[in-house]
Structure 1
Amino acid sequence: KNHDLQVMARGIVLGLAMLGFSLQPLKVSDQIDLATQQRMQQREQQLSWEMTWLQQEVVHTMEEPQNRLFRTDMPFTTWEMGLFGAFAGALMLLFGLFCMSMQQDFDDGSSDESTSSSEEEEEDLANEWGEERLLEQINQWPVQCLAKRSKVVQALVEDLLHACHLLTSKTLLPRLEPCIGVGSAFEGWSSDHDTTVYNLLVPLKPPTGHSFHLELGTGGELLDRHGRVRVQLECVCQREQLLGYALCFLHHPEVKLGRHEGPDFLQYLCTHSYLDVEKTSCWLQLVVMNAWLLLPPSHRCKLRLLPASRSCKLRLTSASGRPLFIDILLGVQQGDSRIYLTSQEAEAGLTSSTMWLESCAVLEVLFFRVMARQAPRGSCHLECLQLFAHLVRGTSFSSYCLKTVVMHLLTTIPLSSWHRAHMVERLNDILHYLHRCLERKQLHHFLLGNKRVPAELLLPPAFQTASPPNLFQHMAQEQDAHAQALRDFGKLLPQPHVPLPQSPVRLLKHNCVS
């Protein structure tokens, strides 16, 4: 009985801790008993050994030794360890919700797989289904479930970044800002929810006494540019005089490492005074894995760091064995706009590790949020996009091209006409628009030079007046690419020789019944 009471009491205390954390910051005493201090020391020794192993795993990717990128002997103050405990209870709850979400998806996927045993059975089933049954099946695609998982993943990464901040708060290294969900999963659609990658952008801010200066390339068009981030020491003498403790590293370089723990920013994360993508990504990987080790362990979820040179790729596995993939990108904001230089994979021909790519991914997520607020209840635009993104897999059409088509149509066709009752017509519109773009070898980028872009996006003036780049430019320049695209478009149709208009329902029956 005493044991049961103890278990119940612990459960009540944990529940109250979670509730208290969700309502207001948890206040922690500055006093720690001897046993707790001993456990901290043991944990710190274990982290030191594991950190050495992690450095050995990633050091071969760098051109110069990185053994001081992150110091595992960094002392933890009493306040910092207390703050770890403050959000530990909430993180345990978050783990539970996350694992339940993954388990539910796994169960749904298992039931979907059991509905058919062979491709022949699927074809027979497709022939028997009518329009109403097929559209009902499409409407059950896990768009809502994807939105729920995206929120849980973002909350998990936020807590992970919170731990990273505590580990690096006493260093002269960049500050990790709250993450921003980008990409298809956070826009509300996915071509295949089994292999969905949850992309999160983490803005970087310079540490005290430093500043970022963006140098954008001028050879390419907007959104097709790359740039570099120059790191400079800045004078904080005035702040030193006002506050009395903010030493100016520009005029007092000899005290730079005396007042702070960890390596020097310019020396370890920069190449010739420019922020290095690969070095910074490697540093992020080391910090994230150390932060994970400090969080409350979960017997359900396992975290694995995947190889990557320009981001932090993670694989999170639930007890059922279903994996979930997270890709944490780094970015530097351009002024006060929603345009970032990001660490996304470099395009062909760009081999310099100091080159960052310009991205409007945050603006695109915002666009879909605006559409979700303005569209009537029961809108089918996400289901339409998800369906066609699934159909074009393995073809010369990228999912980004299909997303661009849908974005153009969302600002051309009244949102009231995107109700699920009009889904067949909207699918047909997407086919027509794509076919027309193929004939013209021209698909304009949505965000540039487009007067129909919602005002809520607050586009920079240069975007509003720019000439929109052609996403099908390669087709206009290469006849073989255009011919291949026409063949791929024909494969989307059950009978390629039948001219448009073609019933999208027949297309769906032929290609994708699940």
Structure 2
Amino acid sequence: MALGLFRVCLVVVTAIINHPLLFSRENATVPENEEEIIRKMQAHQEKLQLEQLRLEEEVARLAAEKEALEQAATEGQQQNETRAAWDLWSTLCMILFLMIEVWRQDHQDGPSPECPGGDEDELPGLGGTPLRSLTLPDKATLDHFYERCIRGATADAARTREFMEGFVDDLLEALRSLCNRDTDMEVEDFIGVDSMYENWQVDRPLVCDLFVPFTPPEPYRFHPELWCSSRSVPLDRQGYGQIKVVRADNDTLGCICDRSKLGEDMLCLLHGKSHMVQPGSEMEDLLCAKESPYLDTVQVMKWFQTSLTRAWHRIAHKYEFDLAFGQLDTPGSLKIRFRSGKFMPFNLIPVIQCEDSDLYFVSHLPRGPSRWTSASSTDWLLSFAVYERHFLRVTSKALPEGACHLSCLQIAAFLLSKQSRLTGPSGLSHYHLKTALLHLLLARRATDWKAGQLDTRLQELLRFLEKSLLEKKLYHFFIGNRKVPEAMGLPEAIRRAEPLNLFQPFVLQRSLYRKTVDSFYEMLKNAPALISEYSLHIPSDHASLPQKAVVL
């Protein structure tokens, strides 16, 4: 019953609270608040929709930009890949072309076929006589010509060498006795080089070429700088180098007396008491160029000529002849004049050894390859004369008895000398003939140089020279020639160097080239008549004469 009464009371209270007359103001605002809320919610919804549209447009724009960037990156990568592929193909093509060029040059530098006068050996002449039309005298005439006109010079060479070596040894000993070992250059023993010591001298009078190495006083030493140590070398400096004067202890140039105060009782052994310290004076005393640490060729030749003059005055009373300088334009050229009127020329050439090798730097060459004149007095010419002599000696031991290699060189040198006297000197020298022979010796078998093949090998030597002249290419035998046996002991820098073309001057000097080619073809034209003229009165039993060997 109590529960029912509670329910009735609850209904009555509820009815009173919700009666419109009692609470009319409050109940009238409810609908208005709901509409305001709805309106605000709609406005907010529209704002959200606008914001959503703006965000969607921004996202679309960012996506479009990202896609454009990705596309550009893809295109750039494709272009880089295409460029890299093109660069790779270009590099491969360049390497292929270089290999073809190297192969072509090696193929062209190879020996000519043994059979002379074949169609495959024909080379176009430059207005001269084609070599294939050259007809040398028969073998008997050629052998008699060699025995009569050339072998005599070879026989006299031994006596000439013996006399000259004794005199030069005495002259250098006198020079050493006059030099101060603490201040002057030290002169070493001479070295015989070139044709007189290779047994193919043909010119008269016989001339000895002697290298005279010299070294600086202590504590200095020579530091040679080869031209091939740098990548780019001007054409006029190929085959040259420089000699730098440095201290043996790698200290800076200059004597200690120039940088410290010596006591009154202390003496500089290099300069002595009379030394006055002046900028650059010390290096000039060491025969260097002015204000330079590099050895000067002009200073060296002046010192050498002065020293030789003083040495000769010291020993002149012992000899019954006079000594004078031969050619003023060729430093080191000397001449012995006997009272009978005869004379004996020879060349003393001051040289500097390149490290521990048989390479020597020379200031001047009395005879040799036609190259450019050095533009600087500090440039020294690199000589391979000792290596050439050693190569000929070693090769001769492997050839058959009485080999004709030196005979070919002697006959060719004889013809060139006679032609030079008729038409004047040209760009072709005896050194070029020897270089051509060295190339053929390296390419030919030992059995190809038998004595009976003198005429064949002589024709081949002349063909090789003609081909080289027409192509303006005759490479140095040692520089850059990796076919040279390693037993020769060449420095690795020389073996890896670029080949040196001895005929490079012909490329720029057209007048010299034309004169050389014309003189060469004139020599070929005159060769048969010249050989026959010097081979008159052949003995009837000449064919039975034994062949003689030229021994190095």
What corresponds to 1:392 in structure 2? 416
| Correspondence 1:493 to 2:524 | yes
Matched letter for residue 246 of structure 2: Q
> Unaligned 5+ residue runs, structure 1?
1-125, 238-246, 496-503
- Distance in 2 of aligned mates of 1:253 and 1:193: 60
Q: 8 Å contact 1:281–1:312 — kept in the other structure?
A: yes
Distance 1:482 1:284, change over 3 A: closer
For residue 524 of structure 2, give the secondary structure of its aligned residue in structure 1.
Answer: coil
For residue 481 of structure 2, give the secondary structure of its aligned residue in structure 1.
Answer: coil
* Cα-to-partner distance string for 1:181-218 (whole Å, 9 max, x where unaligned): 22322222234122x43222111212112122234444
Matched letter for residue 224 of structure 1: Q
* Cα-to-partner distance string for 1:380-412 (whole Å, 9 max, x where unaligned): 322321221121232442211111111111222
- Distance in 2 of aligned mates of 1:131 and 1:178: 40
Matched letter for residue 270 of structure 1: C
Q: 1:270 aligns with which of 280, 283, 288?
A: 288
* Cα-to-partner distance string for 1:324-375 (whole Å, 9 max, x where unaligned): 1122212222211222221115965535333322222222222222234333
For residue 493 of structure 1, give the secondary structure of its aligned residue in structure 2.
Answer: helix
For residue 190 of structure 1, give the secondary structure of its aligned residue in structure 2.
Answer: coil
Distance 1:145 1:396, change over 3 A: same
Matched letter for residue 283 of structure 2: L
Q: 1:292 aligns with which of 312, 317, 326?
A: 312
What corresponds to 2:302 in structure 1? 282
Q: 8 Å contact 1:397–1:485 — kept in the other structure?
A: yes
For residue 168 of structure 2, give the secondary structure of its aligned residue in structure 1.
Answer: helix
Distance 1:331 1:221, change over 3 A: farther
- Distance in 1 of aligned mates of 2:215 and 2:407: 37
Larger radius of gyration: 2
> Unaligned 5+ residue runs, structure 2?
1-136, 276-280, 421-425, 537-552
The 5-angstrom pairing of residues 184-223 of structure 1 reads: 184-194=195-205, 196-217=206-227, 218=230, 219-220=233-234
Q: 1:157 aligns with which of 168, 179, 183?
A: 168
What corresponds to 1:226 in structure 2? 240
Shift of 1:176: 0.8
Distance 1:161 1:258, change over 3 A: closer
Distance 1:329 1:479, change over 3 A: closer
The 5-angstrom pairing of residues 16-27 of structure 1 reads: none
Distance 1:478 1:277, change over 3 A: closer
The 5-angstrom pairing of residues 367-406 of structure 1 reads: 367-393=391-417, 394=420, 395-406=426-437
- Distance in 2 of aligned mates of 1:402 and 1:488: 15
| Correspondence 1:344 to 2:364 | yes
Q: 8 Å contact 2:182–2:270 — kept in the other structure?
A: no
Shift of 1:311: 3.4
- Distance in 1 of aligned mates of 2:520 and 2:501: 19
- Distance in 1 of aligned mates of 2:400 and 2:513: 37
* Cα-to-partner distance string for 1:447-474 (whole Å, 9 max, x where unaligned): 1232442444211112223332222334
What corresponds to 1:358 in structure 2? 382
Percent of pairs with identical residues: 28
- Distance in 2 of aligned mates of 1:374 and 1:223: 36
What corresponds to 2:183 in structure 1? 172
What corresponds to 2:455 in structure 1? 424
For residue 214 of structure 1, give the secondary structure of its aligned residue in structure 2.
Answer: strand
* Cα-to-partner distance string for 1:454-507 (whole Å, 9 max, x where unaligned): 444211112223332222334455665554444223212348xxxxxxxx7x36
Paired residues in the alignment total 369
Q: 1:321 aligns with which of 341, 348, 365?
A: 341
- Distance in 2 of aligned mates of 1:278 and 1:340: 17
What corresponds to 1:461 in structure 2? 492
What corresponds to 1:5 in structure 2? none
For residue 199 of structure 1, give the secondary structure of its aligned residue in structure 2.
Answer: strand
The 5-angstrom pairing of residues 52-201 of structure 1 reads: 130-131=141-142, 133-138=144-149, 140-194=151-205, 196-201=206-211
What corresponds to 2:69 in structure 1? none
- Distance in 2 of aligned mates of 1:235 and 1:396: 45
- Distance in 2 of aligned mates of 1:267 and 1:141: 48
- Distance in 1 of aligned mates of 2:274 and 2:167: 26
For residue 256 of structure 1, give the secondary structure of its aligned residue in structure 2.
Answer: coil
For residue 161 of structure 2, give the secondary structure of its aligned residue in structure 1.
Answer: helix
Distance 1:139 1:309, change over 3 A: closer
Q: 8 Å contact 2:174–2:311 — kept in the other structure?
A: yes
Matched letter for residue 212 of structure 1: F
What corresponds to 1:334 in structure 2? 354
Matched letter for residue 382 of structure 1: L
Q: 8 Å contact 2:153–2:201 — kept in the other structure?
A: no
What corresponds to 1:63 in structure 2? none
For residue 201 of structure 2, give the secondary structure of its aligned residue in structure 1.
Answer: coil
- Distance in 2 of aligned mates of 1:253 and 1:311: 41
Q: 8 Å contact 1:216–1:226 — kept in the other structure?
A: yes
Q: 8 Å contact 1:177–1:204 — kept in the other structure?
A: yes
- Distance in 2 of aligned mates of 1:327 and 1:305: 10
Q: 8 Å contact 2:236–2:372 — kept in the other structure?
A: no
Matched letter for residue 343 of structure 1: S
What corresponds to 2:120 in structure 1? none
Matched letter for residue 231 of structure 1: V
Distance 1:171 1:161, change over 3 A: same
**Could you state the TM-score of these two structures normalised by the residue count of structure 1?**
0.62
Matched letter for residue 300 of structure 1: E
Matched letter for residue 191 of structure 2: I
